[in-house]
Amino acid sequence: MPEMPEVEITKRILEKQLKFLKICKIQIFKKELRWIIKNELKKLFLDCIILKPFRLGKYIIIPTNKNLCLIIHLGMSGVLKIKIKNEKLEKHDHVKFTMLDENEKKSYLIYNDPRRFGFIDYCYNNKLKYHFLLKNLGIEALSKGLNSDYLLKKFKNKNISIKIALLDQKIVAGIGNIYASEILFLSKTHPLFNVKFIDVNQAIKICKSIKLILTRAIKKGGTTIKDFKNPDGKLGYFKQQLLVYSREGKKCFVCTKIIKMINFGGRATFYCETCQKSSKEFLKEI
């Protein structure tokens, strides 16, 4: 489910609904996620008061008043659900936090993840940037620092296709497989274009497209392909705006030629051969 816009949507709702709640109970029904949830987490976070959640790339960070923060990643199929009633568990509910507000009213945060590629970890607030999963994150996709200079610097001495580069969280944090195809279509860049040939003009276009696509997706509440729901249970509506992703065999909205799908790096990539044309010599072999 989640690329950065979906994670951002999730975070915004957590921000509204979890702030200053006290964690009074933690239940772990399945600790074998991407990594095994550490035993001590349950005890450590008891009686912690939740401060303002934030996002780093596709990670959600939930800081607390005890210098500890939760690190949550939703993997491919993870969702966080907030409930105000103590409802029966659903399939693939793996972790449940019970929380209290200042009037002792309970609410519940539930981590649900069918494929279990996501995880929950924790660390000390001041050690966050040294956490092994966060320390190598590249620049935030929507930050000002993401500009053509930054991209060109990162692309220097690399010999990979632009599609692979956009998915590399060490370069830019937040882009996933759906939006990578969309971004390349918008910037008229062939997905196999070798980053070592990207010039300033192309880098500027790519930066603009990254920001435009992700900002639009956030506005639409993210993309629901199959199972993304925000913590309020709402769906995302960016799917209707997708220009190339999952449109193989259909007509390009711009030139009416047929959208192609290719597979590399183990992921599907959708593009328009006409709109994203490139001389062969600039493409990365696959």
Partner DNA sequence: CGTAGCGCCTGCCGGC
Partner DNA sequence: TGCCGGCAGGCGCTAC
| Phi, psi dihedrals of residue 26, rounded to the nearest 5° | -130, 125
What is the C-alpha to C-alpha distance for residues 157 and 3, in angstroms, rounded to an integer?
A: 27
**Nearer to DNA (CB atom), residue 21 or residue 94:** 94
By the rule CB under 7 A, 160 interacts with DNA: yes
The interface region with DNA, picked from 40-48, 98-106, 262-270, 271-279 by CB under 7 A, is 262-270
x-marked contacts with DNA along 14-43 as a string, rule CB under 7 A: ------------------x-x---------
Looking at beta carbons only, is 161 or 276 nearer to DNA? 161
> Which span (13-21, 122-130, 162-170, 213-221) binds DNA, by CB under 7 A?
162-170
> Which residue is associated with the tokens 């950065």?
4
Among 55, 73, 94, 163, binds DNA (CB under 7 A): 73
Closest distance to DNA from the beta carbon of 160 (Å): 4
Following CA atoms 216, 221, 225, 227 in sequence, which dihedral angle do they give, to the nearest 10 degrees? 160
Q: List the catalytic residues.
A: 2-3, 58, 267
Our CB check for DNA shows the closer of 109 and 165 to be: 165
How many other CB atoms are found less than 10 A from the CB of residue 100?
16
Nearer to DNA, 21 or 95 (CB): 95
Residue carrying structure tokens 């956490």? 131
CB of 285 to DNA, least distance (A): 8
* Cβ within 8 Å of residue 154, ≥6 positions away: 138, 165, 171
- The footprint of DNA on residues 97-136 (CB under 7 A) is 114-117, 133
Report d(CA 70, CA 81) in Å as an integer.
16
Token pair for 158: 């690399």
Q: Which of the residues 197 through 236 are near DNA (CB under 7 A)?
A: 222-228, 236
- SS in 3 state form for 105-166? CEEEEEEECCCCCCEEEEEEHHHHHHCCCCCCCCEECCCCCCCHHHHHHHHCCCCCEHHHHH
CA atoms of 194 and 10, how far apart (whole Å)? 34
- Whether 95 contacts 27, CB under 8 Å: yes
167 lies in the site for DNA, by CB under 7 A: yes
Residue 276 interacting with DNA (CB under 7 A)? no
- Please pick, from the candidates 76, 152, 262, 283, the single residue that binds DNA as defined by CB under 7 A: 76
CB of 6 within 8 A of CB of 50? no
Specify the stretch interacting with DNA by CB under 7 A; choose among 11-19, 101-109, 183-191, 266-274. 266-274
H/E segment holding residue 28:
strand 22-28
The values of phi and psi at residue 250, to 5°, are -95, 170
- Closest separation in Å from C-beta 43 to DNA: 25
Q: Does residue 249 bind DNA (CB under 7 A)?
A: no
Whole-number minimum distance, CB 95 to DNA, in Å?
Answer: 15
Residue numbers at the binding site for DNA (CB under 7 A) = 1-3, 6, 32, 34, 57-58, 73, 75-77, 91-92, 114-117, 133, 157-161, 164, 167, 169, 176-178, 222-228, 236, 263-268, 284, 286
